Amino acid sequence: MAVLPEHWGRGLGLALWDAARDGLLEEGCNKVSIWLPLLNQRAARFFELAGFKRELKTAKTVPLGSVKLEEIRLSRALA
C-alpha cells in the first residue's frame, strides 16, 4: 500500500487502509500483518496510528537487488 508523496496529507492512505480492512473482514480475516522497512518512519507512524503494533523479534534483512533491506513486521487484529 503506497501513496505518492505529492498526495500525502490528503487522507488517501486512510481511505486505502479502510478499503483494505473492509475487504479483509469480508473475506473472514481477523488479523493482518505487514512487513515494513525499518527506516520508513513515516509509514511506521501511519500504521501505528492505524492500530498496528511492531513485532520486535521479527526484524530481518532481505535482499532487494544489490541492496539489503532491514524490515520488521507489524500486525493488528481486525475485529
Residues 33 and 78 sit within 8 Å (Cβ to Cβ): no
Q: What pLDDT score was predicted for residue 56?
A: 86
- What is the average per-residue pLDDT within 60-77? 94
Q: What pLDDT score was predicted for residue 33?
A: 96
Q: What pLDDT score was predicted for residue 15?
A: 93
CA atoms of 7 and 23, how far apart (whole Å): 23
- What is the average per-residue pLDDT within 64-76? 94
Query: DSSP class of residue 6?
Result: G
**Going edge to edge, which strands form the sheet with 31-37?**
31-37, 67-77, 53-64
Residue range 30-79 in CATH 3.10.450: no
- What is the average per-residue pLDDT within 7-32? 93
Q: What is the pLDDT of residues 43-63, one digit of tens each?
A: 999 999 999 999 989 999 999
Dihedral sign of CA atoms 5, 72, 19, 64 in order: positive
Contacts of 20 (CB under 8 A, 6+ apart): 1
